[in-house]
Homo-oligomer: A and B are copies of this chain.
Amino acid sequence: MHLFYTPDIASTIYQLDEEESKHCIRVLRLKLNDKVNLIDGKGGFYLAEIIQDHPKKTILEVLEAQKDFSKRNHHLHIAVAPTKNIDRFEWFLEKATEIGIDEITPIICERSERKEIKHDRSNKILTAAIKQSLKAFHPVLNPQISFKEFIAKAKTDVKFIAHCEEGHKGFMKDNFKPNLNYLVLIGPEGDFSIQEIEYALQNGFVPITLGESRLRTETAALQACFEINYLNRP
């Protein structure tokens, strides 16, 4: 069944905006009385029927509503340095959404070659991915922030930093407790600087390894996402 993202749904009657109406009627060729699914990005999952098939103002009536649809049993926040090649970062956004993520913060680090991302464009990728993978919760994409500012205010139950420098590092699964809030830091191409790692450790981050392989930034971020989801499997 076709699915629409309706973040501002507030009653049982919902009018699609002009673009979505056109998509619904002209592209998908849906008609009066056809059924569609809606997600609101906050856990709401709806079954709705087309009660006016106007190509500029399509109106839907909600028939059934579920709250907390496929609610996750933990909260995962990944703070990652956007890659030089933005495709790689965008790919991470899509894949992490499919696998399961709640919050993403682009962090600008000492060795970051990319200093900014297009927030709206990135957010649209997340929206497309929740529609494709049928998720009712929209991951939160925070504004980009400098590493130092981010670390100073990071308050999460469990805080990890994945880095490639020498020193003792465990796996995330060591002493792992499920169903908590997790924050994982992933550095840029060229890794975090020694000073950044020190600063994170002083602020309660636990150094971890993602295994023996040398991973690209976006692969490391996805590996972290896999592991936290895996460790929280019911």
For chain A, residues 159 to 183, give those with C-beta under 8 angstroms from any C-beta of chain B.
171
Stretch at the interface among A15-23, A107-115, A144-152, A221-229: A221-229
In the complex, what's the smallest C-beta–C-beta distance from A102 to chain B, in angstroms? 14
By a CB distance below 8 angstroms, the chain B residues around A91 are 91
**A133 interface residue (CB < 8 Å to B):** yes
Contact of A223 among B70, B99, B212, B219 (CB under 8 A): B99
Contact of B99 with A215 in the complex, beta carbons under 8 Å: yes
Query: Shortest Cβ distance from A169 into chain B, in angstroms?
Result: 14
- Complex contact A99–B219 (CB within 8 A): yes
A-B contact pairs, 26 of them (CB 8 A): A70-B212, A91-B91, A95-B219, A95-B222, A98-B213, A98-B214, A98-B215, A98-B216, A98-B219, A99-B213, A99-B215, A99-B219, A99-B223, A100-B213, A132-B214, A132-B216, A133-B213, A133-B215, A133-B216, A135-B213, A171-B233, A211-B229, A222-B222, A226-B226, A226-B230, A227-B230
